């Protein structure tokens, strides 16, 4: 199936304005329209927390479950820093020049990990996971797909290598965007027309590979 079919299948699953998939729209829209988030960090932390809860990051095994929304304040302070300003204005993946964002994204990943570390038990399985970190990036800057199980399975299914979230992975995602930019732009325009919401390229990439991984898991079950 094509990129169009996979993305449309994903979109069609979000039935009604109250579906949990819409939590990403609310979160991303909030951060995109409120650049001065440091002035209202509690509201920003609540927006981020609810989105993460909707997307499975408050399951029983998660350290987030043991904390109030204030656990996200450090992340809010981080993403409000001037060194990440250029990510707010970029639709990452739209140009070959976007490779310049790779070091910035890697720096952001490290920062989010450090912001959550004080709240996570000091065991490897409980430390801030790459799934959590990339979901934060997708819900705020929209600069990287969320690397959960279905996304990773779909990514590998399409013959793309994945070991962890590093500069090589980020460049592979950028290469995929450039190679399929026409189709992704068409989906972007269609969603914006139908929903009135701008979906960044990285969200579309997330949806595409997630749907592949999800369908693969459903067949096995």
Mean pLDDT estimate for the chain = 92
198, burial (CB in 10 Å: exposed 0-12, middle 13-18, buried 19+): middle
Q: What pTM was computed for the model?
A: 0.94
95, burial (CB in 10 Å: exposed 0-12, middle 13-18, buried 19+): middle
- 78 belongs to a structural domain: yes
- 95 belongs to a structural domain: yes
Interval 113-129: pLDDT, tens = 999 999 988 775 557 99
- 55 belongs to a structural domain: yes
Number of domains in the chain: 1
Over range 53-58, report the average pLDDT.
93
- 15 belongs to a structural domain: no
**Length of the chain as a residue count:** 221
A 10 A CB-CB count for 200 gives 22
- 101 belongs to a structural domain: yes
What pLDDT is stored for residue 166 in this prediction?
A: 95
Angle at 165 between CA 160 and CA 166, to 5 degrees: 95
Q: What is the extent of the structural domain holding 193?
A: 20-220
- 1 belongs to a structural domain: no
């Amino acid at each position: 199936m094509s990129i169009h079919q996979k993305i449309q299948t994903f979109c069609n699953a979000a039935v009604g304005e109250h579906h949990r998939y819409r939590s990403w729209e609310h979160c991303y829209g909030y951060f995109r329209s409120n650049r001065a988030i440091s002035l209202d960090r509690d509201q920003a932390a609540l927006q981020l927390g609810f989105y993460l809860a909707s997307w499975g990051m408050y399951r029983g095994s998660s350290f987030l479950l043991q904390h109030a929304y204030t656990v996200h304040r450090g992340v809010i302070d981080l993403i409000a820093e001037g060194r990440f300003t250029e990510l707010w204005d970029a639709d990452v993946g739209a140009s070959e020049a976007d490779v310049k964002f790779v070091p910035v994204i890697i720096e952001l990943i490290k920062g989010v990990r450090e912001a959550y570390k004080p709240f996570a038990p000091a065991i490897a399985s409980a430390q801030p996971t790459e799934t959590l970190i990339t979901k934060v990036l997708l819900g705020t800057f929209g600069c990287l797909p969320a690397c959960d199980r279905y996304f990773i399975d779909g990514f590998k299914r399409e013959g793309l290598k994945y070991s962890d979230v590093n500069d090589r992975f980020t460049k592979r995602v950028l290469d995929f965007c450039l190679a399929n930019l026409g189709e992704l732009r068409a989906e972007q325009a269609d969603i914006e027309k139908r929903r009135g919401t701008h979906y960044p390229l990285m969200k579309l990439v997330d949806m595409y590979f997630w749907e592949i991984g999800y369908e693969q898991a459903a067949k096995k079950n």
